[in-house]
Amino acid sequence: MSGSGKMSAIGYAFLVVLGLAAPLVLYPIFLMQALCFALFACAFNLLIGYTGLLSFGHAAFLGMAGYAMGVAVKWWGLPPEIGLLVGTAAAALLGYLIGSLAIRRQGIYFAMITLALAQMLYFFCLQAKFTGGEDGLQGVPRGHLLGFINLENDLTLYYFVFAIFVLGFCIIHRAIDSPFGQVLTAIRENEPRALSLGYDVDKYKLLAFVLSAALSGLAGSTKTLVLGFETLTDVHWHMSGEVVLMTLLGGMGTVLGPVVGAFIVKTLENRIGEFGQLLANQTGVEWFRTIGDSVTIVTGLIFVICVLAFRRGIVGELIALFRKQRA
């Protein structure tokens, strides 16, 4: 038991080192974006993978937090770390409101309520003056962390973002491994049973929902800090679908799955044109060149393949393979 514990500690240490060294090799802005989405996917996974609740409106938390953070830093002149807290708090509050309404129902009804409420938020953001509507909230400054660390430098910002990601990831990991996490898993497996054992199931679900929302908000605020703007894309239901894809592709209910999924989807999004060129050059099939125009088709195809053949996701399949080899 302790043996495997040691191994995962070494594994994590290795990943941290990888993370620290990455910006020297890969483009820091892309890495930061991917890390934000990885945190978003991990937060989402807390809900779907560990509590068994599919929320189809998680974009609301990502986007709303981003807007709140943007307003705090751009118009109220707050320092970035306070801005992040404002964003996270806004998302947590929104999570509490949406969660308490949605928790009353289960399964598809739960998903539909989250979708409906997220759509209402989308229309609100479209109208509201402070969001800038479809032009977006632009020109959010990076500012100085703690008053003296200049975040304008991409590399400095990267380490800050990485630290935030590690923090968020640890919170999730801790939540999963704790008694609280065990109850969540029990709820996912058999809710009536958990109820009969005396657990206040609704309270646990709500808490998980708010935690997931808050961390999604942290991801959204951080993303706004990195890119310097926030737009309606982040509150649109396509974004909610994208995070489902990331988690599904990486592996629902695994710890690292969402991170892997997020990185793959983001890489795909950015590189699909070049990927198409590569395939076309290698195989000589000219049609591949046009997949650069077709992110939607490729995304759809990945969804379909994952659901049909690859349900455990990449990390899930790897774990299953590993276990098979051991046995």
Minimum CB distance to another protein, residue 84 (Å):
18
Minimum CB distance to another protein, residue 301 (Å):
6
Minimum CB distance to another protein, residue 55 (Å):
11
Rounded-to-integer distance, Cα 65 and Cα 79, Å: 16
Specify the residue, 79 or 133, whose C-beta has the smaller distance to another protein.
133
The two three-digit tokens of residue 54, written as one number: 């599919």
Specify the residue, 196 or 267, whose C-beta has the smaller distance to another protein.
267
Minimum CB distance to another protein, residue 227 (Å):
6
Taking the alpha carbons at both ends of the chain, their separation in whole angstroms is 16
Residues forming the site for another protein (CB under 8 A): 27, 29-30, 33, 54, 101, 104-105, 107-109, 111-113, 115-117, 119-120, 123, 126-127, 132-136, 138-139, 223, 227-229, 231-234, 237, 241, 244, 248, 269-270, 272-273, 290, 292-297, 299-304, 306-308, 311
Minimum CB distance to another protein, residue 122 (Å):
9
The two three-digit tokens of residue 82, written as one number: 């306070």
For helices 237-250 and 257-283, the axis angle rounded to 10 degrees is 90
Specify the residue, 58 or 223, whose C-beta has the smaller distance to another protein.
223
Specify the residue, 115 or 207, whose C-beta has the smaller distance to another protein.
115
Q: Write the CA distances from 276 to 133, 266, 280, 282, 286, integer angstroms.
A: 34, 15, 6, 10, 9
Specify the residue, 105 or 193, whose C-beta has the smaller distance to another protein.
105
Rounded-to-integer distance, Cα 220 and Cα 232, Å: 12
Rounded-to-integer distance, Cα 15 and Cα 11, Å: 6
Minimum CB distance to another protein, residue 175 (Å):
22
Specify the residue, 100 or 144, whose C-beta has the smaller distance to another protein.
100
Residue 199, number of CB atoms within 10 A of its CB: 15
Q: Which residues contact 7 (CB under 8 A, 6 or more apart)?
A: none
Specify the residue, 49 or 168, whose C-beta has the smaller distance to another protein.
49
Contact between 143 and 73 under an 8 Å Cβ cutoff? The reply is yes
Closest CA to 39 of 268, 261, 249: 261
Looking up tokens 């969402």 gives: 258
Minimum CB distance to another protein, residue 151 (Å):
14
